[in-house]
Amino acid sequence: MFFKRLDDYKDKFNHIKISRDENGILEAQLHTDGADLVWGVMMPDPREVKVAQLEAEVDALRKQLAAPGTGQG
């Protein structure tokens, strides 16, 4: 089976910041150019979100995945 590590894919996405906490939980934080997530024209490409999900699924150390947005709301 093929596995990846966080360092293999965490910097791959334009509108998703991916990190891991000390408990092995991945956080894929959606944003608009590093700031608050803006839904609409400037929102992340759905294909980018799907690729990030696929990358996280084969992360050897992933225990859970949380995907919050960024900003108020």
Query: What is the total count of domains within the chain?
Result: 1
Question: Shortest CA distance to 23 belongs to which of 73, 66, 70?
Answer: 66
User: Which DSSP category does 18 fall into?
Assistant: E
Consecutive 10-residue averages of pLDDT for the chain (73 residues): 86 91 88 81 77 88 78 65
Question: What pLDDT shows up at residue 70?
Answer: 67
- In the structure encoding, which two tokens stand for residue 6, read together? 């966080």
- Supply the pTM of this predicted model: 0.78
- Specify if 73 maps to a domain: no
Domain that holds residue 54: 6-66
Bridging pattern class, strands 25-30 and 16-20: antiparallel
- Specify if 47 maps to a domain: yes
Question: What pLDDT shows up at residue 11?
Answer: 94
* Contact assessment for residue 31 and residue 17, using Cβ atoms and an 8 Å cutoff: yes
To 5 degrees, how large is the angle CA 58–CA 29–CA 17? 70
